[in-house]
Structure 1
Amino acid sequence: MATGSETQESNTSPELPTELPYDFLKTITDNFADERKISASPFGTVYKGVVPDADRVIAVKKLHEDAPIPAGKTFSKEVHHVLPLRHENIVQLVGFCNEATKKLVQMEGRYIQADIAECLLCYEYLPNGSLDHYLFGSKASDQDSSSGKPAGISWDTRFTIIEGICQGILFLHDLDIPIIHMDLKPENIWLGESIMPKIGNFELSVSLDREQTKIHTQDVVGSYGYMAPEYLHGGEISAKSDIYSLGLLIMEITTGEKNSPKNEQPSARGYIDKICEEWTLEHISSIYSSLDLDGLHQVKTCLELSLECVETDPAKRPSIDNIVNKLNKRRAS
């Protein structure tokens, strides 16, 4: 007869170890099957991993060998930066794998057996997908083109998503060793239960010493349409780099209008100018006609904050503390 503690233990899914074997990850993703793909980027492909007999699903990212940044460097950066982090607005890294496997590779006209390092990262599984898919993909209701209204997501949900993203950035920037994400965009925001936004994909992230306010790099890598101009043109990295990208995120969430990097300058000045010109108070009132006065002021506050965030001069951009304080006041009013 089982004791009470034994009964409780048998009903609890066993915890996975942090370091996971490659064969195990192959098994739970059905050998990285196409039908298990969740998303793909230049850095890696994410698969749904179903852990047998544990009633648990995790997201397994298999890093590409030919990524813009070497897989080993990306792996080390994410494990170092993300594994210790615990915050409701940061995607949790639950495990990893860095294992040499035997592969046949072609060299000088013949095949040889070589040890190839497989780098994989395992995250909490978020079934609601990315913010990009939620705002602009099939999960969003069809937009009424005649009214120009944002796809069918309530303003309160949009405001809550903005607040959550800002809380996540505040957490990262306020760490003892601050982390600058450097690739904030809708595709890198994932949605948990109740559409809780979680910042993920830290491949380009940079850590700063407390005494550092900025650093410079000659390797400028980022997402076209979201890079701060001082980083794009001078390799300057600071907390204000994230603030610029945040401004574009807030614009997209608030207006429902997608920043289209393919048709824009790398820092999206055309998109910014369009929003600044078109989204007057009268336009806000017509687009969000069902909102009361407090709701309309929330929309106006978010647009004003987004435009402050995308100032060309980094010194003119607000700090994340200032942004969060203004959002909190608007929520409370």
Structure 2
Amino acid sequence: MRMRTVLGSIIALLLLACLAGPAAAITAFGGNPFYRPPLTSVKQMKTMFMEQKEDVRKGLEKAGLGEVYDSLMLQLPDAQVATVEYYKGKKLQWMFYRRNGKGPVLIDRDVVWESDSPFAGFEFFVDHNSKRYTFVVPLVCGNLALANVGPIPAPVLPVAAPALTPTPAPTPAPAPTPAPAEVAPAALPFAFVADVGYLYQADPAHYLLLRGGIEYPLNDNVSLLGMVGVAPKLEGIDGETAFLLDVMLNYNWTKMFVGVGLGAWLTGGDSDLDTEDNDLDIILDIGYQFYEKPDAFKLSGFIELRSAVDEFSDFDLYGRVGAGLRFHF
């Protein structure tokens, strides 16, 4: 009964934490580009859309605008594209990106540009079902972003103007050269991760969970996680402080993930006692990412169940259940 109460409390706390979702503040582009190399011309941008059209379709579907895809691809070849600068405080409804420039298209919502320097981008619009969608593509990363949605403006009828004596037009001042956007350093092919959490054993024993390692993407949705750490025993009549060597295979959705794997639970205790011997554990993780600062930091919550292979039938006694926070750097 006590174990069910603890597990229920952990799940409730995790679900409450997942409701938080602040805007993604960005100060530099280039760490998680949708496209490489940086864009230098409108022609190159249009070619990018043609080459990446399947990923563009998937990205629009994730953003909830899958029905706009056909209009985008039909209108883009003849679209009027302007080079614009966006300044600090500019808000974008969402933005494409790929983690470390690889893998599936991901979406960040409520993006805010927070750098003191402006960023340059290509801006164009697409008309669909009486609405005008204004898109922007930062030159340095090719990440498609939605800047605005509004009604299609009514056509302006020409009005005959009275004849005037023409006057020479003043010579326009030269346009200022846009300041280059800050470019983030090349990203590593893997991410550093660290876990902080709590494990409960019904026998009973209470443990702190501390471990760290790396996460390496294998394909669009699957990543390999390797971590080492320690589980200091906090209290309880059984169990010992354990050193951990864990390897897990994660399946990642946009925000959620599920991981399965094996882990070494090394106590150096009495090998004749199930609560103190060294074990090879089966591990199951279920988690949710509820905060991200692109190119810098992510925070997820997770629930973990682990049991020794030879004690699986006695999970109600020796299995460990817990939860924690996972930090991605």
Structure with max Cα Rg: 2
Which of the two has greater helix per residue? 1
Structure with more relative contact order (C-alpha pairs < 8 Å, separation 6 or more): 2
Give the shorter-chain TM-score range: under 0.3
Instruction: Looking at secondary structure, tell me which structure has more strand per residue.
Output: 2
TM-score by length of 1: 0.19
TM-score relative to the length of structure 2: 0.20
